[in-house]
Amino acid sequence: MKMKVIFGFVILFLLVACQSEMPYEETDSSMADEMSSINVEVEGNIMINEDGVKFLVDPSKIVSGGPPMDGIPSIDDPKFVSVEEADEWIEDNELVLAMEYNGVERVYPLQILVWHEIVNDYINEDAVAITYCPLCGSGIAYKRNILGEDVEFGTSGKLYNSNLVMYDRKTESYWTQIDGVAIVGELTGMELEAISIDTVVWRDWKNEHEDSEVLSQDTGYSRNYGRDPYGSYYEDSYLIFSVENEEDTIHPKTVIFGIEIDGVYKAYKEDDLIELELIEDEVNGINIEIERFSDGQVEVVRLDTNEEIVKERDFWFAWYAFHPDTGLYE
């Protein structure tokens, strides 16, 4: 079984490479590859090598995912169509990323994101990055204004904890997709501001949000949208790439919603939310409510301030790899 999965991913990476307009070859500019073994600790947990490159993560743990930098091309000039038009090529049971932001409703089908992983978008003049890591099942949105400047993100071709490592096109610093933290380069230690986005079933969303703008298949690239190259990976318990922390009390690809309150992490199984619709809990002394609505949106609210807590929807293994001290709601 493991050999079949590995073979399948070799084919996947070849497919991505062959369909890309970028040359399929490893670049020599990877900061992770150039890091020296001579390190000095600075500013707490931030390290620096003898060439002055800062990093948070041991470069040996940042591995090649197969394609080179931008070998999986981001969408930098997204086009949108109506729900009616999109309904002609999105199946009712397909998963999409959907959000309501600044008075605009937007949908990003996973059948497109699985081939691109990052959309550099603007919503009412706010620069946002819509990101998706198929290996971790994680769809996360961030504001992409850094130090007062709108910055584009691309795929580095690297993975950390099996998670997409993004890079910004201003400094080429590396950023984790989960948590949005710069881990190598000039901006090491900075965090992107996450904004709420949900992974929902197309049928549920379209019935309640008829005026949504939907990312078009007219991306400027030739891809077999509608065919997921990852096949049965989402159900298989086997991980292709290693992670630092593992926990096997539940299936590694159980879908969870993860939250953080003042440094304390907790996860909630999607199946529990579908069944219960509303969960009341206490995290780090704060009372919260997690509610799932009929359109598939999940909202987490602090009851002391009535403020929304931005959650992540990940596979359990991915959330735990980054947050081994997390709690799990039972």
**The pLDDT of residue 22 is above 60:** no
Which range has the worst mean pLDDT, 20-24, 34-38, 250-254?
20-24
pLDDT at 31: 52
What is the rounded average pLDDT of the residues 22-37?
41
pLDDT at 118: 99
What is the rounded average pLDDT of the residues 30-58?
72
Confidence band of 4 (pLDDT split at 50, 70, 90): very low
pLDDT at 42: 66
**The pLDDT of residue 7 is above 90:** no
Taking all residues of the chain, what is their mean pLDDT, rounded to a whole number? 90
What is the rounded average pLDDT of the residues 282-303?
98
**The pLDDT of residue 285 is above 80:** yes
The CA distance from 178 to 199, in Å, is 15
Domain positions in the chain:
1-240, 243-328
19 contacts: CB under 8 Å, gap ≥ 6: 115, 221, 222, 223, 224
Give pLDDT tens digits for 101-146.
999 999 999 999 999 999 999 999 999 999 999 999 999 999 999 9
Confidence band of 316 (pLDDT split at 50, 70, 90): very high
**The pLDDT of residue 29 is above 50:** no
What is the rounded average pLDDT of the residues 11-21?
43
CB 26, CB 13: distance < 8 Å: no
116 is written with which tokens? 């691109």
The CA distance from 284 to 263, in Å, is 9
pLDDT at 60: 87
> What is residue 299's three-state secondary structure?
strand
% of the chain residues with pLDDT over 90: 84
**The pLDDT of residue 19 is above 50:** no
**The pLDDT of residue 321 is above 70:** yes
The CA distance from 138 to 5, in Å, is 20
Give pLDDT tens digits for 160-180.
999 999 999 999 999 999 999
pLDDT at 51: 85
pLDDT at 25: 30
What is the rounded average pLDDT of the residues 213-235?
97
What is the rounded average pLDDT of the residues 282-293?
98
Angle at 187 between CA 185 and CA 190, to 5 degrees: 130
